A and B are shown apart, each in its own frame.
Chain A
């Protein structure tokens, strides 16, 4: 199999992830888009591992690491989203702006 197919698929996946992170308003979908990006990277790692085929299979090992990290990250992220929903009754990223610098003094919430 030519190397270009999986790389193009990974690029498409990553772009979809970037689009989701930048454009979606629902926080859960933003998290899922992050997963998409991570998995695009995973795909790349596996593909290039096959291509180089080094003795330690660093690419595959790294993929496992990324999967574990992604699982942990999603767990944490979903918990945060859940808490935010309980507090605010919304998970709309556009409306969660309390971290912003507001016009004067930066103390008003």
Chain B
């Protein structure tokens, strides 16, 4: 079982290295085989088309096959775990350090098995999709390798049994994200976005690492299970400090306020990367880590309250910002921040299962939305919503899949988002009224009220922007070039396949008492959703040619710039740092360098006194030698 998990992690890891080094070579070797198949294939249409497309594409094979195998393995693990739920652990070795030892090993429980399955499914869909999407890209080989490496790192985070090993995966994901955002690095804006993402998440990671240290030192072990076992015995201050430090990293990775600014810019990367990393998996890692270490957070209600406040701000702010965006991918980026905040809110009010449920549902529908957006962008040739419209007829598969995705995003039954969102809102409602389990400190009631109120408002705004994006993209006047057609099959089918879990995943929750929606909360939240979506629809219906968001009027530029948080950071952080750096440069040039150069110049000037004699005429030199000899001889004669 643990071996299966280890193989599932190692397969994409090996694929990354093989693809990076031998990818083009494999293409070379496969070319004759592919040509042979093309010639011998029967004339019948379908098989011939398949043979023609059978890729002599080494990097694609190296990328897709291992991740497919990993998907099968994680599915097996999930099924076994479902039939016989228990925690299975395995440790390869325990590394003795000077202080606290750490073990290299994996833990598989129900939660990690399900999330690992989600990661593999989304990664598989994205890899298949990328084969078509990145077909003409000269650096596809390294792109596919980095996606494989990312998948391996994410699986390591999910399955790791040790905090330090988890941190390794966490950082590898960060660097993969950096490389993949900067895939089109020759564009200045893209490389800037990559650097920004790297620096902002790194800022959070510093806190995260110290949080790990605090918890690990307090428990005298980095094994997650040991740490969690020690939690009730830990001093309260240690727990609060450790969990708050962990929250820094969570806010950075999961793009929560105030470290959320990198995510909208990260959309400069290729669309499949946005789907995999910046929507479905990596950004969910922050939420997952909180869920993994949830007992520690339960004993530190202060941290949960802070998490609730962060979640409330991110939730509503990002949803409002998403409403006013002009760029399809940025709409989805802000909605990702908002949906991740839902999960964080769910954790803050005490429902780990609800948050994970939303994580799974969101992973499915957001990957679907991003991949669908990629199809739309390829067809239209632009990211801008103003260039889209009326694509319903031209792209039926994408249209129906994305309709499911938008319904799930808005929280309309029966799509998955409806169930998971309601679970979180119901739990927030419970938190306001009654205290949770007896053995842990109570979560403050105001956190429940905050998450509930902001969550309901956000549900309305989410429905509004989902409706608006859906209408502007697929309905109304057709503004696209006439040849906008459905994407190729390799891109179309992953999107369609993801629509299935996005639609039905919610019903799985009916099997559990915690996850079943409650009738009163369902009605209230549906009212909010319908109000938000309906308002947008009514405005749009008045004049389908125009963007309904025009009604925002003067607030729109403010929302479009994401409340100008970037500008505030520029004033508060970037300018002082740049000024300080310039001061350092100035000191370096005018104090340090001046001292060094001044020494040299002084010595040279001193040497100038002697240089007068060195005029290049050897006879002068010999005269000097002779004079010296004469003086020595005289001295010898006189003094002896």
Contacts and interface: CB of A to CB of B under 8 A. Distances in A.
Contact of A22 (B614, B616, B622): B622
Interface string A40-75: 000000000000000000000000000000000000
A101 B620 CA distance: 13
A97 B622 contact: no
A23 interface: yes
Contacts of B618: 93, 99
A43 to B, nearest CB: 20
A38 interface: no
A37 B622 CA distance: 14
A19 B145 CA distance: 83
Given A22-B626, A101-B611, A93 B619 contact: yes
Interface string A68-98: 0000000000000000000000000110111
Contact of B615 (A21, A93, A100): A100
Interface string B606-632: 000001001111110011001000000
Interface centre among A30, A96, A97 (most CB of B within 10 A): A97
A18 interface: yes
B615 A97 contact: yes
Contact of A97 (B611, B616, B623): B616
A74 to B, nearest CB: 17
Nearest to B615: A100
A93 B623 CA distance: 14
B616 A21 contact: no
Contacts of B611: 101, 103
Contacts of A21: 619, 622
Contacts of A103: 611
A94 B614 contact: no
A93 B617 contact: yes
A94 B619 CA distance: 8
Contacts of B619: 21-23, 30, 93-94
Nearest to B610: A101
Contacts of A30: 619
B623 to A, nearest CB: 5
A94 B622 contact: no
Interface centre among B615, B618, B622, B626 (most CB of A within 10 A): B618
A100 B618 CA distance: 9
Of all A-B residue pairs in the complex, the 7 with the closest CB atoms, nearest first, are A100-B616, A97-B616, A101-B614, A101-B611, A100-B615, A99-B616, A22-B619
Interface of B: 611, 614-619, 622-623, 626
30 contacts: A18-B626, A21-B619, A21-B622, A22-B619, A22-B622, A22-B623, A22-B626, A23-B619, A30-B619, A93-B617, A93-B618, A93-B619, A94-B617, A94-B619, A96-B616, A97-B615, A97-B616, A97-B617, A98-B616, A99-B616, A99-B618, A100-B614, A100-B615, A100-B616, A100-B617, A101-B611, A101-B614, A101-B615, A101-B616, A103-B611
Given A21-B619, A100-B615, A101-B614, 13 more contacts: A18-B626, A21-B622, A22-B623, A22-B626, A93-B617, A93-B618, A93-B619, A96-B616, A97-B617, A98-B616, A99-B616, A99-B618, A103-B611
Interface of A: 18, 21-23, 30, 93-94, 96-101, 103
